[in-house]
A and B are shown apart, each in its own frame.
Chain A
């Protein structure tokens, strides 16, 4: 099967000389269609760097990124931009909403940029806001939203339309546990319908929604976890709280 997203020996160096930072060191990763993968690691280990490179927002210093088996470095600038608008949904760690647009205009933006008429795009934007439980805030500007509402609008913008690759950077950081769980249910549901998901986080509870958890340390992948152990065993009457 062709991976929906593949990183081959990807490295990223910021700066040079004395200020050189090796944010990623030879990362190999393949995520298959319908899979939800979490990358877990401490602050500064390279999670956001990995995601921006996977989302073709930044170029690796070394190595190659393939989306649906196609090398991104071989695409024209236009093709790459179109792929970002149409196929990739991106949830930024700092939300990245446009202050001059309302919630629904923000959510509909990728579709409008792709040439969809505003009315139709905003209809779909509203539906995405509904899925995230923030439709009643559709007409508000980002500055008038709570942190958690902003986060949900930014997720709505990522899932709007027909994306088949969702990349999310700490997507529940501003949410309480009930809303955070709702977001992860949504991502898991999307992946069960065939969407491919990659979530980066330092939070184990968030990562545990994934089919596979990959551990990142100092820019390197060092290990991975899959669901294990018999549930129930730890809740036998003798071991119960």
Chain B
């Protein structure tokens, strides 16, 4: 987790207290990445144990304790900035599975299912975009929000692609006996009435 490296980065400016680190971390990540005090101190303790930071005075405990980055800490930070994020095998995408399952359930309108998820995702994207709209000069916030918006956009585009693919091949999945699929997608609209 990168809280470690974020704290190291904040310490490259000058020595800081734990509380100060927490406040700067939150404002630096657009206040959308909350961090509790406990997390800050636990992380600082581990960094100190690993020799990446040192405290001014080992005797004083609590909020007034000043931390500074060591040269090993600087090396670690530089290395981390250039290391590609860990590439994990693709997670089982819950939405993909829901769609595949929906295709096999008689009486379920897949276009309606797709629209339900599209509505949720667009609503959530609106919330993020409005956050960005309200804070025009907060660059950190814009960067964090952009990352989230592009991720949501990818999912919405997948839903759109799935929608047209299933319109092109309407019998992709098993249908209940006798169910009619009109070619112009009327099923979806009927289903919403």
Chain A residues within 8 Å of B, Cβ to Cβ? 40, 42, 184-185, 188, 202, 204-205, 207-210, 213, 215, 217-218, 220, 222-232, 234-237, 240-241
Taking CB atoms, residues of chain A closer than 8 Å to B92 are: none
Q: Could you tell me the distance between the alpha carbons of A234 and B35 in the complex, rounded to whole angstroms?
A: 14
Q: Does B136 sit within 8 A of A, measured CB to CB? A: yes
- With A208-B128, A228-B124 given, name 18 new contacts (CB 8 A): A42-B163, A204-B125, A204-B152, A204-B157, A205-B150, A215-B118, A215-B119, A225-B119, A225-B123, A226-B123, A227-B123, A227-B126, A231-B32, A234-B148, A235-B29, A237-B3, A237-B33, A241-B85
Chain B residues within 8 Å of A, Cβ to Cβ? 1-3, 29, 32-35, 39, 85, 115, 118-131, 133, 136, 144-145, 147-150, 152-153, 156-157, 160, 163-164, 184-186, 188-189, 192
Contact A237 B35, CB 8 Å, known A217-B188, A222-B115? yes
Interchain nearest-CB distance for B8 vs A (Å): 16
Taking CB atoms, residues of chain A closer than 8 Å to B185 are: 217-218
Total inter-chain residue pairs, C-beta < 8 Å: 107
Q: Is the interface of B mostly helix, strand, loop or mixed?
A: helix
B32→A235 contact, CB < 8 A = yes
Residue of chain B at shortest CB distance from A189: B133
Taking CB atoms, residues of chain A closer than 8 Å to B149 are: 205, 208
Q: Which of B2, B121, B152 contacts A240 (CB 8 A)?
A: B2
Residue of chain B at shortest CB distance from A213: B122
Interchain nearest-CB distance for A211 vs B (Å): 8
Contact A229 B124, CB 8 Å, known A209-B129, A235-B144? yes
Taking CB atoms, residues of chain B closer than 8 Å to A188 are: 133
Taking CB atoms, residues of chain B closer than 8 Å to A236 are: 33-34
